[in-house]
Structure formats: structure tokens, C-alpha cells
Amino acid sequence: MKQFLKYQFVIGACLLGVVGLGGCASVSELRFIQRTFTIDAQKELVWNGAIHYFSDRKIPITKVDRDGWVIHARKTVRSSRINDKYADCPKGYVQRNRRTTTIISVTESSKSVIKVRIDLQFQGEYTASTIFGMNLGTKFYDCMSTGVGEREIFEEIFDYVSSPPSVLRVANVQDEQPTPITVRLRKFSSEDN
């Protein structure tokens, strides 16, 4: 009986250890992120929508490849890990800033069907310090996108493309009719001087 209880104890302890370790292990969440979207519009209008997104948000554009229809932009913002809906960053240390690199490419898949690819790359800036406050250094670590930012950017571009054209955005010269101007000619005489 003693031997049986000893055997049961060993099995129970091993089982508890395996279950306990399994509960502590974390597996990254598998997530599908949509990065490619399609719009039924003119390529130039979609391109202007992407440029408008960056200018409206005051995001500095770092590179524009007009021949390849690609825009690169980068912005660093003060951030917090709490409730960050755009990126999952590593835990630990103190996150000071988040650097976001945005790459938007516009390609034509068929007549008037445009593909927009939006790649967001996030990096969190972390500062390590001792318990006495001594700074041990700062590093940027890669974060995983949640897919929310890509969707929001596409919706902004789509809103731009689908909104009614304004005078500033689109000028259609063919639809304009010339306005008749009446000019009165008058003969000058020596009395007018």
C-alpha cells in the first residue's frame, strides 16, 4: 500500500508539473491580417487618396516612388502599451515611443480595379533601468500589427475615392462651358483727355 501511494504521488506531481508548465507557456496568437485591398476607381485617384491620408494625418513621407507607385512614411509617437489597438509589443521594461513605418503601394490588376497594399511595421522603444533609476540603455523591438491600422488606412483612402469630387480635387475641363462676356467699345474723343 505504501508503494502504491508513493507511485500515485509521483504520478500526481508529474501531472501537476506538466499542467502547470503548460499553463505558463505562451504561444503567440495566430492572426490573419488583411494587407491587400481592392478599389474600383482610377489609379491616379487612389494614389491621391493615399497622399491625402498622409498629409491629413501630418505623417512625414520619407520616400515617393512615382514610377513604382509606392509611398514610404515614418512617424514616431509617444506611446503606452496600455490599450494599444494597432500593435502588440513585447512586455517588460518601459516603452517610451513607438515608431511606425507605413508603406502603401498602388497597382492596377485590371481596368479600373486597383489593388492597394498597406504594410505597417511597428517598433517599440524600450528603456531599461535599475531599481535605483540608472538608465541601462534604450532599444527598439519589433511589434506585431493587429490589422486595425491597415483597415483604418484603407477606409480613409476609400472615403477619399468615393466622396463626391470637389473643385480642388478634380477639374473636368470638358464639362465647362465658356461664359459669354459683353464688352462695350467706346470711341475716345479729344474731350475724354
1-26 confidence digits (pLDDT tens): 555 455 555 455 444 444 443 333 33
Bridge-based pairing state of the strands 94-110 and 113-129: antiparallel
Helix spans in the chain (H): 2-24, 43-57, 148-162
Residue 26, CA distances (Å) to 18, 29, 89, 126 in order? 14, 9, 14, 21
Length of the chain: 193
CA atoms within 13 A on the CB side of 35: 14
Dist. CA 82–CA 109, nearest whole Å: 40
Alpha helices in 25-121 (DSSP H): 43-57
**pLDDT tens digits for range 31-86:** 789 999 999 999 999 999 999 999 999 999 999 999 999 999 999 887 665 557 88
Using CA of residue 31, residue 36, residue 38, residue 42, what is the dihedral sign?
Answer: positive
Name the amino acid, one letter, at 186: R
Q: Which residues contact 118 (CB under 8 A, 6 or more apart)?
A: 35, 36, 37, 102, 103, 104, 150, 153, 154
Q: How confident is the model at residue 175 (pLDDT cuts 50, 70, 90)?
A: very low
Q: Is the pTM of this model over 0.85?
A: no
167 Cβ contact partners less than 8 Å away, ≥ 6 residues apart: none
- 8 A C-beta contact, residue 157 and residue 71: no
Measured CA to CA, the distance from residue 160 to residue 169 in angstroms comes to: 10
Are the C-beta atoms of 145 and 123 separated by less than 8 Å? no
- Could you tell me where the DSSP H helices lie in 29-185? 43-57, 148-162
Predicted pLDDT at 1: 55
Question: Lowest-pLDDT range, 27-31, 36-40, 139-143?
Answer: 27-31
Q: What was the pLDDT predicted at 174?
A: 40
